[in-house]
Amino acid sequence: MKKLLALILSLTMIVVTVPAVRSEASTIYTIQGSSASDDTLVSNQWGLENDGSFTVETQKSGYPGNPFGRRNGFVFGMFSGGWSGNTLTETLQAVEGIDVNAQEAWDIYAEAEETREVIIALIDTGVDYTHEDLKDSIWTNEDEIPNNGIDDDNNGYIDDYYGWNFYNNSNRVYQGSEDEHGTHGAGTIAASIDNGTGVASVAGNANVKIMILKALGGSEGSGTTEAVVEAIKYAEANGASIVNLSLGSTEDDDELYNAIAGSDMLFVVAAGNGDSRTGIGTNNDSTPTYPASYDLDNIISVANISYDGTLDSSSNYGSNSVDLVAPGTYIMSTTPGNDYGYLTGTSMSAPFVSAAVAMVYSYFTDISLADAQEIVLNSVTKLDSLTGKCVTGGLLNVAAALQYDLSELSGEGWSEAELREIEEAPSFGFGNMPGGDFGSMPGGGDYWGRPGDNSWYSPNPGYGRGGRSGGGYGYYYGPGYGFSFSWGYGF
């Protein structure tokens, strides 16, 4: 049976909003022309350059929207300290050098005589493409005339100028506060560097663009396998090389496996954020999280390292199933409405690696994606604290990757993966809807499906959506679909 699987965001914690600090400067400088960043919040970005002075905010404050955090907004075991009332008792000490070595990487990249443009498909919530730090970082479909109501390029999507919303099946790739998770990841990857305001990113936007593919949304930040798979197909058809997947589930889904296995793109995937009850990281070797745990050559699985050089307590790990770590604790980046804020989770770690691979692939213009993956994984900074926690035992180091000796590449490429056989699900009719199908969610409304169409939600009076949260479950019968569970927040 084909599954309709809920995919839950890999976010564990939402913390502090930071008001935008704006500059009168209007010139946008690209990464090729930049050296040291003059972005106003870069000193808060320990993941780029950590001099040991970083400290977390010491007062609680509500993060706008808070759509995907745990119900209390914080995760047990996240810090070695804790909260006392509204004050954080923090005992972690930042350690100099626990970063991705971004400054040196920018300097090296700026000397490149030739580069190529790389498109990263961000399959996530939507992205605020009007944000002051992102407006020049977004891929656009040049074959489509925006807002004319016509499918100009005949690809089946009307007005898909900025990408597509597979969650709602529309061209609205930004819908407000529910899209802060994707907006945050986009800023880490490709926010403008050296524009005198906000944050810097790993890759900048001179040669790296973000394709917005909204597959997750709502108050729980969830979506369906169908939406993610269709987004993957769209990404490949429209020129993306790398896919960032800061999402996951404990359910192994054949459709999603095949979509990744059959793709020529590289997938950078969040390793996951631990036990749903405690928030403590689990071993993906024994308790897999998907798609991070798929044994496929074209996947990089990423865990979360904190600014003190240890694996964050919420991060999943695995000596065989997780490849490397990247900064993911208290990460400052863009949020909707020209704002900025901190988020924590492996969802924040994956964009660092996506951006790094994109830089490497752009810098070395004759290498393959498999080569770029190999370079990034072989260039990590080894740390004793990561022994047994990931395959490489190391932290992402972008500068080292850009200095890699290409003569050391194996040239092996990716082996061809065998696709899984998928049994087609039967169609179940119900009531007076010819060809229609019915499914229900305990404590929730009704889901109706029509052959050949996406599912859509039709609430009934007196029904809520309790079946989608707090560990409840739902099931859906329809043409080509199957049976699925939908868990609460996190995984």
Catalytically active residues are: 124, 181, 347
141: Cβ contacts below 8 Å, ≥ 6 apart: 153, 160, 161, 162, 163, 238
43/200 Cα distance (integer angstroms): 10
Single-letter amino acid code for the residue at 117: E
67: Cβ contacts below 8 Å, ≥ 6 apart: 177, 178, 180, 181, 218, 219, 220, 221
Three-state SS at 72:
coil
The two tokens of residue 87 are 């004050």
266/240 Cα distance (integer angstroms): 9
8/192 Cα distance (integer angstroms): 29
Residue 139 pairs in a beta bridge with none
CA distances from 393 to 259, 274, 316, 378, 380 (A): 29, 19, 14, 10, 8
Q: What is the DSSP letter of 290?
A: B
Residues composing the chain: 491
Handedness of CA 340, 342, 343, 347 (dihedral sign): positive
Handedness of CA 29, 35, 40, 45 (dihedral sign): positive
307-336 burial code (b ≥16 CB/10 A, e <16) = bbbbbbbbbbbbeebbbbbbbbbbbbbbbb
Nearest to 125 by CA among 33, 3, 210: 210
55/69 Cα distance (integer angstroms): 22
The two tokens of residue 109 are 């990249």
452/481 Cα distance (integer angstroms): 11
364/28 Cα distance (integer angstroms): 25
Handedness of CA 224, 260, 282, 333 (dihedral sign): negative
Single-letter amino acid code for the residue at 115: T
12/301 Cα distance (integer angstroms): 17
122-148 burial code (b ≥16 CB/10 A, e <16) = bbbbbbbbebbbbebbbbebeebeeee
